Every structure is written in structure tokens, then in C-alpha cells.
């Protein structure tokens, strides 16, 4: 595909329509992960690997010279972001084995809170009272979701909801580290070259973890390979990559708040396709988390 075609697609695509497609695409991630029977690390590795391979032709057409302009510091920061992203995927994919889709996806979306905290601590960004209030509200919701089902003995999807929720929280922290590591780079480096470097590092780390864990990398049935590819095309390309593109065309507050649709979409898919009914505690705690995230996101972008 030529550069002219890429530019024409970008010019004619309504940003809000692209954003809606992206939210739907990322909402399929948890379902695809849960539906696959492969080990968590294997699923994470192939999702990142296939996403990277699908983006390489686009980078060669549009940004062939961008890689040579990266400084040593750029490579270091991108590598740190890739490591953080690998831990995010490893912990979040594993969390879906132990807790409900609704709880896992909602908690991992709390990365917004940790981005705000990290920006204040490491980048000396001002934290308003509204931001702090939103963070406290969301953290209270996470506490309700994480501890409530375990204390009441509720019958939820997953063998150990408290452990699964803790893994989702680790995934949120690491996702925030990935965002913070790339914040300065994305101001100077085009999206595709940046994500290819980060995704490549992420894939190498996940490969190393998979080999260390002793999980098989091959001999999966065709169904599993289709699921791996679906994770890359759906949540990977049409999800997060399109979301990053949308940031250049709509306000970041709109993107941040629209991402609150992911837990809702994921929970609905889990209900319809997996028969997974969230408990009342998960619904209440999730609603509190989403309110806190919305307040935090709006406060950081106004």
C-alpha cells in the first residue's frame, strides 16, 4: 500500500468513528484471552509478536528513516517501556485465569490513576484536588472488588479472585510505566516506529519468560493460532494502535473517558459468550472504579 493511500485513509476516516471501533476492538481482548486454552505467556507473546509483524510493512513505507534518528537515550527509554509492557501483558493475561473478566478488565483500566501518580512523582506534574479525589474513589472501588468476593465467598469465575485481581493491579501499574516511559518519546517520534521498538522488546521479554516457564511455543491446533492472530488484529491493531492515532485528532479527555467503555463491553461479551455473570460486589466496585477513573481523566485534561 502506497504512502498516498495511507494518507487518504487518514484524511477520510472520522476520528470519532475510529475511536468507537477502537473501543469495541479492545473490549474483545479479555474474551479472546479467556477463550484460548494456551498458557498465558504464550498468548501474550504471540499477540505482541503478530501485532509487531503486521505493523512492520507500514513502518517501512512511511517511517523507514525514523529508526536511524533514535538516540541512545531513546533506545533506553523505549526498552524500559517494552519491559514494562511485557510485565503488563504477562500479569494481566494470567489474571484472567483467576478472576472474572469484569473485575480484571476494570482493575487494569485503573492505569490512569498510576499514570497520574507517576507523572506527579517523576515528572513534577501538578496534582489537583479533583485528580486526588478521583484516585481515592477509584482505589476504594478496587479494594471493594478485590476483597469483597473473597471475604463473602461469592461464586465468581476464577479459582482465586483475590490473586487474579492483584495480578490485574500489577498489570495496571506496569501499563502506567509503559505510558510514562513513552511520553517524552511520543512527542518526537512517530507512533509506528515507536511501537515497533517497544513491541519488539516486549516480545523478546515475553519469549524469554515463556521459555523459562517451560511452556510450548508450537504444536497448537489451528483454533489457537486464529485466536493469537485475532488478539493481534483486534485489540492490537484496531484497538490500541487506532486509539493512539485518535489522540492526534480528538481531545485526550475524550479518549480517556471513552476507554471506560472497555470494561462494560468486556463484561457484556463475557456474559453473552462465556456465560459469566458478575457478582453484585463486582458491579458495585466496578462502578465506583469507573467513576474514579472518569474524574481523574477529566481532571488531568482540563
| 87 or 153, higher pLDDT | 87
The C-alpha angle 167, 239, 183, rounded to 5 degrees, equals 70
Residue 189 vs residue 122, higher pLDDT: 189
The 10s digit of each residue's pLDDT in 106-152 is 888 888 778 777 777 766 666 677 777 877 887 787 777 766 655 55
Per-residue confidence (pLDDT) for residue 2, from 0 to 100: 47
Residue 80: what pLDDT? 92
Q: Are 284 and 152 in contact (CB under 8 A)?
A: no
Angle at 231 between CA 229 and CA 233, to 5 degrees: 65
What pLDDT shows up at residue 248? 63
The pLDDT confidence band at residue 7, using thresholds 50, 70 and 90, is low
Judged against a pLDDT cut of 60, whether residue 292 lies above it is answered with: yes
Supply the pLDDT for residue 59: 78
Tell me how far apart the alpha carbons of residues 232 and 284 are, in angstroms, rounded to a whole number: 32
* DSSP character at residue 279: P
Determine the angle formed by the axes of helices 191-213 and 72-95, rounding to 10 degrees.
Answer: 50
Query: Residue 235 in contact with residue 25, Cβ under 8 Å?
Result: yes
Please tell me the distance from the alpha carbon of residue 258 to that of residue 265, in angstroms, as a whole number. Answer: 11
pLDDT at residue number 46: 97
Residue range 167-173: mean pLDDT, rounded: 92
Taking all residues of the chain, what is their mean pLDDT, rounded to a whole number?
Answer: 81
Name the pLDDT band for 1 (thresholds 50, 70, 90): very low
Radius of gyration of the chain from Cα atoms?
Answer: 19
d(CA 162, CA 150): 6
More confident site: 133 or 156: 133
Highest-confidence range of 70-79, 107-116, 196-205, by mean pLDDT? 196-205
Cα separation, 131 vs 88, in Å, equals 24
DSSP string for 29-96:
HHHHHHH--S-HHHHHHHHHHHHHHHHHHHHHHH-TTTGGG--HHHHHHHHHHHHHHHHHHHHHHHHT
Considering only CA atoms, which of 299, 274, 246, 268 is closest in space to residue 106?
Answer: 268
Write out pLDDT tens, residues 250-264: 665 566 667 777 777
What is the value of pTM for the model shown? Answer: 0.82
Residue 281 has pLDDT above 60, yes or no: yes
What pLDDT does residue 251 have? 60
Long-range contacts of 242-249 (CB under 8 A, 24+ apart): 242/18, 242/19, 242/21, 242/22, 242/25, 243/19, 243/22, 243/26, 244/191, 244/195, 245/10, 245/18, 245/191, 246/15, 246/18, 246/19, 246/22, 249/15, 249/18
| Residues 19-61 pLDDT 10s | 888 888 988 998 899 889 999 999 999 999 999 999 888 777 7
Alpha carbon separation from 51 to 58, 131, 156, 213, 241 (Å, rounded): 12, 34, 32, 23, 10
First to last CA, the chain: 39
Amino acid at each position: 500500500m502506497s504512502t498516498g493511500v495511507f494518507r487518504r485513509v487518514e484524511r477520510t476516516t472520522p476520528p470519532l468513528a475510529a475511536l468507537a471501533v477502537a473501543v469495541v476492538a479492545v473490549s474483545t481482548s479479555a474474551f479472546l484471552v479467556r477463550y484460548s486454552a494456551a498458557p498465558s505467556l504464550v498468548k501474550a507473546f504471540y499477540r505482541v509478536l503478530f501485532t509487531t509483524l503486521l505493523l512492520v510493512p507500514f513502518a517501512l513505507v512511511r517511517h523507514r528513516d525514523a529508526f536511524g534518528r533514535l538516540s541512545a537515550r531513546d533506545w533506553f527509554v523505549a526498552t524500559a517501556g517494552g519491559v514494562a509492557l511485557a510485565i503488563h501483558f504477562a500479569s494481566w493475561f494470567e489474571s484472567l485465569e483467576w478472576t472474572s473478566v469484569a473485575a480484571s478488565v476494570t482493575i487494569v483500566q485503573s492505569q490512569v490513576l498510576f499514570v497520574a501518580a507517576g507523572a506527579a512523582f517523576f515528572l513534577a506534574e501538578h496534582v489537583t484536588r479533583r485528580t486526588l479525589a478521583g484516585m481515592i474513589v477509584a482505589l476504594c472501588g478496587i479494594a471493594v472488588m478485590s476483597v469483597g468476593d473473597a471475604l463473602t465467598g461469592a461464586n465468581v469465575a476464577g479459582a482465586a479472585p483475590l490473586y487474579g485481581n492483584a495480578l490485574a493491579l500489577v498489570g495496571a501499574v506496569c501499563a502506567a510505566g509503559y505510558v510514562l516511559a513513552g511520553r517524552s518519546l511520543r512527542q518526537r517520534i512517530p507512533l509506528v516506529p515507536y511501537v515497533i521498538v517497544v513491541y519488539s522488546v516486549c516480545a523478546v521479554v515475553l519469549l524469554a519468560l515463556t521459555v523459562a516457564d517451560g511452556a510450548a511455543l508450537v504444536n497448537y491446533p489451528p483454533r489457537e493460532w486464529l485466536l493469537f492472530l485475532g488478539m493481534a488484529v483486534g485489540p492490537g491493531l484496531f484497538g490500541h494502535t487506532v486509539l493512539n492515532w485518535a489522540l492526534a485528532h480528538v481531545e485526550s479527555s475524550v479518549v480517556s473517558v471513552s476507554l471506560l467503555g472497555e470494561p462494560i463491553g468486556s463484561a457484556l461479551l463475557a456474559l453473552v459468550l462465556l456465560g459469566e455473570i458478575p457478582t453484585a460486589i463486582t458491579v458495585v466496585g466496578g462502578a465506583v472504579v469507573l467513576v474514579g477513573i472518569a474524574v481523574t481523566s477529566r481532571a488531568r485534561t482540563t
